[in-house]
Chains A and B, each alone.
Chain A
Amino acid sequence: MERTERLRSALRAAFPVTVPVLTGYVCLGVAYGVLMAANGYGPLWSVLMSAVGFCGSMQYAVIPLLAAGFEPLQAFLLTLMVNARHILYGLSMLERYKGLGWARFPLIYTLSDETFSLVSTLDPPEGVARRDFFLCVSLLDYGYWVTGTTLGGLLGSVLTFNTAGLDFALTALFVVLFLEQWKERERRPAGITGIACAAVSLAVFGADNLVIPAMIMILAILLGGRKLTCA
């Protein structure tokens, strides 16, 4: 009884902050299901990929591979490159995910861009345990993505509502969470570093290859800056 009450209050705290992810994931998930169906992969396959793979943009990136032929090595290397940014998330969450026991498994398994942006920035309200709050945020986000994919796979092209631009919800989410980070003065140099490195990387390496050079530049500058302030 007490346990359900505890979970309910965690859910009450977590749900509102995941609503932007709900809109973004359902749109992108539906689009993914539709796209997979267009390539001859029915809802069973798109849902399986979403539930087991759970890697958003990477699932889109692998569609051309699914359409081209059986290339597991290429798929594996592409996954490592596209998802290398997750390493930054893990490094950031070492402290916050400490001492959470079994919950670490689902938390780390489902640590997507959007989930990371929430769990790294927001703290649970008074009276809600960190583990419960992080779990609710992570599992709600996961559920949205799988549900969106299922809907997309089933509905296919039946949708007539003009959803163009609805996926901007995710961009807006990152902007808001950037601003939340910005409130802490000592984090501002890091925020500027992130934007500047990504912009330089985009200009130099192009849209398809921006992540890894940007990550390397960010790590180099932040570590270099740390040396300067410690010296």
Chain B
Amino acid sequence: MRLTPLETLGIILTVAAGTQITRWLPFWLFPENKKPPAWVTDLGKVLPAATMGLLVVYCLKGVAWTVPPHGAAELLAILAVAALHRWKGNVLLSIAGGTALYMVLVQCVFA
């Protein structure tokens, strides 16, 4: 522990404050009792899809595409998730199946 308890508490509160600013900002800018401009409402409808795409890529940012196995474990597991989801449409099954396959791949196949 490099920092004193008081300094550590300070960092924790700083990080919490920064995080909460980013979470509350849109709600402060566009309060409930005022009708937000049309572009904000329109954006709110399509942003979740775009953000989910961003989050998928964000999760894969650490993958080394240029060296073997070229992200094969990630790609195969994602394909499995998509196939399972297409087949059964069960959120839990798709996630559990994909994760189990990924664990086998990184622990046994590409280890």
**A interface residues (Cβ-Cβ under 8 A, vs B):** 16-17, 19-20, 23, 39-41, 45, 48-49, 52-55, 58-59, 62, 65-70, 72, 75-80, 83-95, 97-99, 104, 108-109, 111, 113, 116-117, 120-121, 162, 164-166, 168-182, 184, 187-199, 202, 207, 210-211, 214-215, 218-219, 222-223, 226
Chain B residues near A62 (CB, 8 Å)? 11, 15
Considering only CB atoms and an 8 Å cut-off, how many residues of chain B contact the other chain?
Answer: 71
Task: Give which listed residue, B3, B17, B82, contacts A179 with CB less than 8 A.
Answer: B82
Given the known inter-chain contacts A53-B16, A87-B25, please indicate yes or no for A164 contacting B53, CB distance below 8 A: no
Beta-carbon contact of A202 and B57 below 8 Å:
yes
Given the known inter-chain contacts A39-B1, A91-B26, A179-B85, please indicate yes or no for A58 contacting B51, CB distance below 8 A: no
Task: Give which listed residue, B12, B81, B82, B99, contacts A53 with CB less than 8 A.
Answer: B12
Among B48, B77, B99, residue most surrounded by chain A Cβ atoms (within 10 Å):
B48
B55: interface (CB < 8 Å): yes
**B interface residues (Cβ-Cβ under 8 A, vs A):** 1-3, 7-27, 30, 32, 36, 39-62, 73-74, 77-78, 81-82, 85-86, 91-92, 94-96, 98-99, 102-103, 105-107
Would you call the interface of chain A mostly helix, strand, loop, or mixed?
A: helix
18 A/B residue pairs, CB under 8 Å, sorted by A: A41-B1, A53-B15, A58-B15, A70-B7, A72-B11, A75-B18, A77-B18, A94-B27, A94-B30, A109-B23, A165-B99, A168-B99, A171-B78, A175-B98, A180-B91, A194-B52, A198-B58, A226-B42
Beta-carbon contact of B11 and A66 below 8 Å:
yes
Beta-carbon contact of B27 and A45 below 8 Å:
no
Q: How far is the CB of A116 from chain B (nearest CB, A)?
A: 8
Given the known inter-chain contacts A40-B1, A210-B58, please indicate yes or no for A72 contacting B14, CB distance below 8 A: yes
Chain B residues near A111 (CB, 8 Å)? 23
- Our count of residue pairs bridging A and B at CB distance below 8 angstroms stands at 271
Residue of B nearest to A179 (CB): B85
Q: How far is the CB of A67 from chain B (nearest CB, A)?
A: 6
Residue of A nearest to B25 (CB): A87
Cα-based distance from A180 to B102 in the complex (angstroms) = 21
Residue of B nearest to A96 (CB): B44
Among B3, B13, B25, B106, residue most surrounded by chain A Cβ atoms (within 10 Å):
B3
Cα-based distance from A168 to B103 in the complex (angstroms) = 8
Task: Give which listed residue, B20, B22, B53, contacts A178 with CB less than 8 A.
Answer: B53
Beta-carbon contact of B56 and A171 below 8 Å:
yes
Counting from the closest, the 5 A-B pairs by CB-CB distance are A194-B53, A79-B18, A90-B26, A194-B50, A198-B57
Beta-carbon contact of B54 and A198 below 8 Å:
yes
Chain A residues near B102 (CB, 8 Å)? 165, 168, 172
Q: How far is the CB of B108 from chain A (nearest CB, A)?
A: 10
Beta-carbon contact of B52 and A181 below 8 Å:
yes
Beta-carbon contact of B59 and A86 below 8 Å:
no
Residue of A nearest to B41 (CB): A95
Given the known inter-chain contacts A198-B57, A226-B42, please indicate yes or no for A54 contacting B11, CB distance below 8 A: no
Chain A residues near B14 (CB, 8 Å)? 72, 75-76, 79
Chain B residues near A86 (CB, 8 Å)? 19, 22-23, 25
Beta-carbon contact of B92 and A16 below 8 Å:
yes
